[in-house]
Amino acid sequence: MTAPALTVSGLTVAIGGTTLLHDLSFALAPGERLGFIGGSGSGKTLTALAISGLLPEGAEVHGSIRLGDRELVGLGERELSRVRGDVIGMVFQEPKSALNPLRRLGRQMTESLALHYTLSRAQRREAALRLAAQVGLGDPERIVRAYPHEVSGGQRQRAAIAAAISASPGLLLADEPTTALDVTVQRGVLRLLRELTEGDECSLVFITHDLAVLAEIAERVLVFDRGRIVEQGPTMRIVRAPEHAVTRALIAAAAGPAVPGARPRSTVEDGARGSDAEVRDDCNA
């Protein structure tokens, strides 16, 4: 099921008396690819969890999260679980732990599809094969029957993405989906996410601490720091002319050591950066 854009206004989240998100407001157009960037604990993941209603027990949420014309804040567990998987899909950082090691990939890829729609066994199998092909998994016949430990990290992440998009959600939340992958695999997964969110059908929220990755996928960026959005704007503008100190620090971190005055230690780092630049060029080509 596809639903239009997301509007978050005045979102404040407190857990155990500590306010972790302060008055966040942003909007997401249909089909838009939005990036969340920020250091650890800056609140980007928490925002994603708040959108999908998966905050830990005892979290206090104020403000409004509107998905299309539906208000999500204050919805009961039952209504929320109807939204999750169907209208909102989620992809997690560790493909290794985000898939149940005891279940075959085919079943996991079609879990939310089978939950939100009534499918026969054959239809479910067919859907698994179709999804496997859609996310670029070669040899779908083998993949859908395999257990997570029998495939590679990149294939696992593709399977996890397949699971997230199985019910054609209108919004895909990807929380550092490429961080645990090596550079070459990362490129493929980024390309896949870009393809999947090509039209107006599906919007993407891409969470990362890595500006280089974000530059490849996001059209617009929100910079998070300590539970606040400190800067937002088109990706290119943010990268070229950062306004906030945090953004500048993130860019500096992406370019080299974060400690002021520190100099690159060895040529190994230069080499590594060189190869990243190549990858980026490759992707843009």
Give the footprint of other proteins on residues 96-155 (CB under 8 A).
96-103, 111-112, 115-116, 142, 146-147, 149-153, 155
Give least dist CB 210 to other proteins, A. Answer: 4
66/104 with CB nearer other proteins: 104
Please report, as a single letter, which amino acid is at residue 44. K
Q: Are 241 and 209 in contact (CB under 8 A)?
A: no
Question: Could you tell me which residues are beta bridge partners of residue 35?
Answer: 206, 221
H/E element holding 282? helix 267-284
25 touches other proteins by CB under 8 A:
no
Q: How far is the CB of 100 from other proteins (least distance, A)?
A: 5
**Cα angle 74-9-86, degrees, rounded to a multiple of 5:** 55
Helices 121-134, 153-165: inter-axial angle, 10-degree rounding: 120
Site string for other proteins, 156-195 (x = CB under 8 A): ----x--xx--x-----x-xx--xxxxx--x---------
Q: What is 167-227 written as a DSSP string? A: T--SEEEEESTTTTS-HHHHHHHHHHHHHHTSSSS-EEEEEES-HHHHHHH-SEEEEEETT
Within 10 Å of residue 163's Cβ, how many Cβ atoms?
26
Instruction: State the minimum distance, in angstroms, from the CB of residue 118 to other proteins.
Output: 14
**Residue 201 or residue 210: which is nearer to other proteins going by CB?**
210
Q: How many residues bind other proteins (CB under 8 A)?
A: 85
At closest approach, how far in Å is the CB of 79 from other proteins? 11
Instruction: Indicate the residue among 66 and 273 with the shorter CB distance to other proteins.
Output: 273
* Residue in 86, 127, 134, 177 binding other proteins, rule: CB under 8 A: 86
Write each residue from 214 to 253 as x if it is in contact with other proteins (CB under 8 A), else as -, in one continuous string. -----------xxx-----------------xx--xx-xx
> Distance between CA 214 and CA 95 in Å, rounded?
19
